[in-house]
Amino acid sequence: MDILQCYHNSRLLVDWSDKRMWLAVASIVFNPTFWNIVARKEYRTKFITRMFNGNGLYGCYALAATIFTLGLIRDAVFKYAVDTQPKAQCMDHWFLQALAYFLFSVGNIFVLSSMWVLGITGTYLGDYFGILMDERVTSFPFNVNDNPMYNGTVMIFLGTALWSLSPAGVYLTCIVHFVYRIALKFEGPFTTDIYIKRDQDRAAAKKTTSTPAKEQTKKDL
């Protein structure tokens, strides 16, 4: 059976009445919604920073631990849903299984290398706490993928779904991809504005410090 025929035969092999499937959907949607709302509130009010006596670094670590834990829960719920949904034996095809291995491996490389390059604060929204990077990261994996964390995660989900012979897992992966695309629509411009404001503040501070020096020079003349 070819891959196209496998798709037509297996695309309806999803039990949408299973509560575990909807729990996986809820977890997938909740995570980026949660961290975007919380991070923006922190940027505007510093409520997490205040919880740690004004220490933004500790606040960022706390949010990082929360997001990481939520990610583990989401992954476990996803895998549980995939394992309990109907299997498509036609997906046990050498090409699909090789693709699953490739996606899972490359996805993990993207995610782990991103975390290594960015560090904890760069990975987990440190810029919303005022912990900004000096310059844009352009090394691997950002030189081959604009959003390696998100795209790598999607690749891991799809690889897991294919390896598990799960049409339901493929559908859930599509939801992950869609939710992340929406999240990027909010995160990208907001983060850009944070750095623009940082640069404007630096320029204003530099102008302020240079003005008295110029006035003093004029007096000396």
Which residues belong to the annotated binding site? Answer: 105-107, 187-188
Tokens of 119: 């560090």
Q: Outline where the chain has alpha helix (H).
A: 3-10, 19-45, 47-51, 56-84, 94-123, 148-163, 167-220
Concatenated DSSP letters for 87-143?
A: P-GGG--HHHHHHHHHHHHHHHHHHHHHHHHHHHHHHTTGGGGT---SS---STTTT
Virtual CA dihedral for 32, 37, 41, 46, nearest 10 degrees? -30
Residues 6+ apart with CB under 8 A from 105: 159
Residues forming the annotated binding site for S-adenosyl-L-methionine? Answer: 105-107, 187-188
Contact 81, 18 (CB under 8 A): yes
How far, in Å, CA of 57 to CA of 200, rounded? 23
Q: What are phi and psi of 131, to 5 degrees?
A: -95, 90
Question: What letter represents residue 176's amino acid?
Answer: V
Contact 154, 180 (CB under 8 A): yes
